[in-house]
Amino acid sequence: MITSWPAPAKLNLFLYITGRLINGYHKLQTLFQFLDYGDTLYITPDQSGSVTLITPVKGIANKDNLIIRAAKLLYQTALEQNNLPVNAGAKIAIEKRLPIGGGLGGGSSNAATVLIALNYLWCTGFSFDTLAELGIQLGADVPIFIRGFAAFAQGIGEQLKPVNPTEKWYLVVHPGVNISTSLVFNDSQLKRNSPVRSQEELLAEPFHNDCEAVVRKRFYEVDELISWLLEYSPSRLTGTGACVFAEFNTESAARQVLEITPKCVCGFVARGVNISPLHSTLFRMQAYL
């Protein structure tokens, strides 16, 4: 039986870099919120004893895809703990909507969806805590998608505290460039000394992204797009880019700006949500047990 699972996008409503660790990771303070928009994974559990990605993602070898890496990590962990059904396997297809290198967390969200979906479909019985521990091995953003709630994050992004920011409407646009996270975080001009502040302080002041200045300097397409969007609404970079988002109080206001967006960029309108669509799907499936 084919099962359908959302892999939602996320926005960094603000992002401040507060330091850099010896291992190269950056310390940060950020506010994550999900969108009711993203990729969709179609998973068919079987008894093949292996996991196959039947719709490869252009530009990413299957062995490097976080979908396969997440499945193999869960498989091996369950096998070691004798939690894996005999010959557990799956075939996975993805309907890819989120741009690679867009700062929307697409790869991390895909990994989290695989971990949660296969944990359910294979009846491996791991808790969200355990899945989050596995997820951090795949990427710093994976635990936020595992936990499934909007959060204020610190550390390298793994220290999460639930929050309930206003669920606004967003116009998200992609300028057609692919921006590597490592390129931004290795830039010598990246601001890395934002002061550590309390959640209350950060929520009370205008939101900002420390990565934005570097990205706007390196990529004129992003700079021009932010400048254009700022004429209509508060707008900024999400993550390390390349996607830019503008916030609105209503869906209709967001769609009005989408209609006049320059033809050279792609965009969509989505609602910010504090509970992940992935968790909503999981809860619905569990209710049918």
For the stretch 44-57, pLDDT in tens is 999 999 999 999 99
What pLDDT is recorded for position 1? 85
Please report, for the domain that includes residue 244, its CATH number.
3.30.70.890
HSE, side-chain direction, 13 A CA sphere, residue 98 = 29
Handedness of CA 40, 139, 273, 185 (dihedral sign): negative
H and E: helices and strands count for the chain: 10, 10
- Parallel, antiparallel or unpaired: strands 51-53 and 89-95: parallel
| Cα-to-chain-centroid distance, residue 135 | 12
Residue pLDDT, tens place only, 152-188: 999 988 799 999 999 999 999 999 998 998 999 999 9
Per the DSSP assignment, residues forming a β-bridge with 237 are: 244
Tens of pLDDT, residues 208-267: 999 999 999 999 999 999 999 999 999 999 999 999 999 999 999 999 999 999 988 999
Q: What is the largest CA-CA distance in the chain?
A: 58
- Which of 39, 141, 168, 210 is an active site residue? 141
Residue 210 annotated to the active site: no
**What is the reported pLDDT for 78?**
96
Q: Which of 10, 39, 168, 210 is catalytic?
A: 10
Q: Are 31 and 11 in contact (CB under 8 A)?
A: no
Does the predicted model carry a pTM greater than 0.85?
yes
Sign of the Cα pseudo-torsion (184, 277, 135, 58, in order): negative
Domain containing 31 equals: 1-289
Q: What per-residue confidence (pLDDT) applies to 9?
A: 98
Query: Is residue 141 among the annotated active site residues?
Result: yes
Number of domains in the chain: 1
